[in-house]
Structure 1
Amino acid sequence: MDPNEERRSMKALKAHFDTLHFVTDSMQGIQERCACGQRLVRERAPAEVFDCLPGKRFFTCKEYKDDGMHYRQPWVRAVEEELGFMKMRLEKCEEYKSLVVKLEVENQELKAEVEKLLA
C-alpha cells in the first residue's frame, strides 16, 4: 500500500472517530436537535424487539441510522441527566441567594456607619 494513501486513510479514520466521540460526548440531558441538525422524536420500542423491554422510550433522531452519528438516547437516562443538571443549578442558586443575604447585611452595616459619620 502506498504510504501517502495509508496516511490519508488513517487521517480519515481518525476524523471519523473524533466525530463519533463528539456526538457521544454531546448526548447529555434532553436534547432538542441531533448532531446532524434533525429534530428528535420520542419513540417507543416495539414489542418485537428483544434487546430491550417492550415499550421502552427513546429520544431518537428523525433520520436515525445506526452509524453512531445520530442520537438515540434512552428516555430514562436523558431525564436523569436533566434532573442532575437542574439539581446543580438549584444548588448554585441557593449559594448565590446566601451570598446576596450576606451582602444585604453588610450593606446595612455600611449604611449605618455612613450615617454615624455624617451625624
Structure 2
Amino acid sequence: MDPNEERRSMKAQKAIFDSLHFVTDSMQGIQERCVCGRRLVRERAPAEVFDYLPGKRFFTCKEYKDDGMHYRQPWVCAVEEELHIMKTRLEECEEHKSVVVKLEVENQELKAEVEKLIARVSELEYAA
C-alpha cells in the first residue's frame, strides 16, 4: 500500500473515531437534539424484541442509523443522568446560598460598624 494513501486512511479513521467519541461523550442527561441537528423522539421498543425488556423506552434521533453518529439513549439512563446533573446543581446552589447568608451577616455587621464610626466622627466634629 502506498504510504500516502495509508496515512490518509489512518487520518480518516481517526476522524471517525474522534466523532464517535464526541457523540458518546455528549450523551449526558436528556438531550433535545441529536448531534446531527435532528429532533429526538420518544419511542418504545417493540414487544417482539427479546434481548431486553419489551416496551423499553428510548430517546432516538429521527434519522437514527446504527452507525454511532446518532443518539439512541435508553430513557432510564437519560433520566438518571438528568437527576444526577440536577442534584449536583442543587448542591452548588446550596453552597452559594450559604455563602450569601454569611455575606449578608457580614454586611450587617459592617453597616453597624459604619454607623458607629459616623456617630464617633460627628462627636469629634462637635468637640472640636
- Which of the five TM-score ranges fits, normalised by the shorter chain? over 0.9
User: TM-score, normalising length from structure 1?
Assistant: 0.98
> Secondary structure, in 3 states, of the residue corresponding to 1:98?
helix
Return the offset for 1:91. 0.5
**Mapped partners of 1:118, 1:24: distance in 2:** 62
2:56 is matched with: 56
> Secondary structure, in 3 states, of the residue corresponding to 1:59?
strand
1:10 is matched with: 10
AA aligned opposite 1:4: N
1:100 is matched with: 100
Return the offset for 1:52. 1.2
How much identity, in percent, do the aligned residues show? 88
- The total of aligned residue pairs comes to 119
Q: Which has the larger radius of gyration?
A: 2
User: TM-score, normalising length from structure 2?
Assistant: 0.92
Moved segments of 4+, more than 6 Å: none
**Mapped partners of 1:113, 1:82: distance in 2:** 46
CA RMSD of aligned residues (A): 0.5
> Secondary structure, in 3 states, of the residue corresponding to 2:110?
helix
2:67 is matched with: 67
Gaps of 5+ in 1: none
Gaps of 5+ in 2: 120-128
Return the offset for 1:16. 0.4
